[in-house]
Amino acid sequence: MANSKRRLPAAPSRSPRPAASGSARRLAPDAPAAASSAEAGGARKRAAPSRAVDPSKRGRHQEVPGKPERLHKALAQSGIGSRREMEALIAAGRINVNGETAHVGQTVSAGDRVKVNGKLVNLRFSNRLPRVLIYHKPEGEIVSRNDPEHRPNVFTSLPRMSAGRWVAVGRLDFNTSGLLLLTTSGELANRLMHPRYQLVREYAVRILGEVSDEARQRLLGGVELDDGPAQFASFQDAGGEGANRWYRVSLFEGRNREVRRMFEAVGLVVSRLMRVRYGPVALPPNLKRGQVLELAEAEVKRLLAGFDMENPEGDRPPRRARER
């Protein structure tokens, strides 16, 4: 962490069946295919012909046909939105299947042509695991695809996909850095953000000056903000030198600029803010700003199981890491 050489102490999180982020895979450039034309001395037996393998990205990511699924569930699994949002679009007549207006409760299968607001979408069925990314967001990026000011956004830094889209789990302010989770599953993103799961959000905060005992107690006991009361679940010293002091705080909600506004409520100014944990996932210490890690399939399965979601088998071939 910049401007602080001390290791910040970890705080416990209340979250379902934590998925370790230590074995996440770093996205790196594809390695060129190695030639296999080297010959050894002496005669060799001729290898039996083998079935050709599609080396293209499209071939590696093809889905295995599965059983029919409810339309709203397939759309949510594809990252179009939450199940509730998809049901609302279906009820409004804004989705059609194979040229006909869809109805609530309709099922779809691989090969069906589904359009949302007139645009063809590629469905991801639950026989394929969703993808989950850890992105170390730097300051100066916005977590939105639609910005009237045309500022840099996080989605341009993510791996490109031929189907579906990345869904951000919550947001970080333009001037806030740190852990941002993204997934291809709208349903998983919705559960990670839902208040009933009480997932901890943990931050490293740099303050100009020290926090008095009185201010600390007010922040832990609750301060009144414009949109209601707010309080930290934990508050720890994390070192620092000179005028800048670091603290580690956590809370169980994610309102707009909530951490900054809480400190402002007790007369303190946040000079730097960095999210270091979201629920069961912590920001890896060796992940630099602007870099991406993808959770391994085993970690994604544990994450799904922690939210009582269906845990499909990972039937896709292992995916080579790609440069973002």
Active site residues: 173
- d(CA 207, CA 51) in angstroms, rounded, equals 62
Distance of CA 318 to the CA centre of its chain: 20
Separation of first and last alpha carbons in the chain: 23
Tokens describing residue 178: 């740190």
Question: What are the angstrom distances between the C-alpha of 225 and each of 67, 229, 230, 248, 263?
Answer: 49, 6, 7, 21, 11
Calpha distance 211→247 (Å, rounded):
9
CB atoms within 10 A of CB 156: 10
Spatial distance between the Cα atoms of 231 and 218, rounded to a whole number of angstroms: 8
Using DSSP's 3-state secondary structure scheme, residue 100 falls into strand
What 3-state class would DSSP assign to 178?
A: strand
